[in-house]
Amino acid sequence: MDTAFIGHKFFIYFHHVFQIEIMKRLRHPNVLLFMGAIFSQEKPAIVTEFLPRGSLFKTLHRNNKPLDFSRRLRMALDVARGMNYLHRRNPPIVHRDLKSSNLLVDKSWTVKVGDFGLSRFKDATFLTSKSGRGTPQWMAPEVLRNEPSTEKSDIFSFGVILWELMTESIPWSNLNSLQVVGVVGFMNRRLEIPENLDTRVSPIIRDCWQSNPALRPSFEDIIQRMTDVILSFTGLPARKNTAILSNTI
């Protein structure tokens, strides 16, 4: 019997077990709800709630009807809330593969964080983990250089998602993955922020993209800033909007 094949099967099995261990303890309106798991000899499967609109990537880039600015702002706030919940867990959970295709949209346009395949608990074991493959177009420069990932790496990825939501463009669509590794990880380049982008949003994106991870904001900070942007955009009294914006953080 092929021992390499058996080893690979065990790796896949424990990979799914670890993902289940993460997901089964999570309960938040902006985190995909885990409902169970199926283990078979062929391939384990994770059962989650069904979100009919599919991924945020699909909703943004394969939707015939553009999303209005207000809705895109609220979607970004949903992502920040879901990620803030993960980062505030004990121990914190670092997603490590945060991108629009791993974010799912329900029928009421609420966005939920999903796909915990590369996630790690932040402790002595996992803080220094460099394993796993994400998608370079959304990844932080330190991760592209194969350096350890932390919560601040997720913040950088959120900045790419916020840019994606605001511009309705695919990040680094003109480059292949290897080129992205070079220009972001080693040449310190960033996506171009359009001059006509709302001046209340562009500073949030730039702060998320700080080269020094320690200078990037937390999701708690981002939630407050995004909330202020949405309140100012609506032009309605803050008290009336509080009910709309309030959610578990």
Catalytic residues: 97
Looking up tokens 């959304």 gives 138
Tokens of residue 196, six digits: 């006509």
Q: For residues 107-123, b (16+ Cβ closer than 10 Å) or e, as one string?
A: eeebbbbbbbbbbbbbe
Distance CA 61, CA 165 (A): 10
| Sign of the dihedral defined by the CA atoms of residues 228, 230, 235, 237, in that order | negative
Provide φ and ψ at 36, rounded to 5°: 160, 180
Of the candidates 176, 172, 138, 178, the residue with the CA atom closest to the CA atom of residue 156: 138
Q: What is the three-state SS of 22-82?
A: HHCCCCCCCECCEEEEECCCCCCEEEECCCCCCEHHHHHHCCCCCCCHHHHHHHHHHHHHH
- CA–CA distance, 42 with 180 (Å, rounded to integer): 35
Enclosing H/E stretch for 4: helix 3-23
Tokens of 91: 């121990």
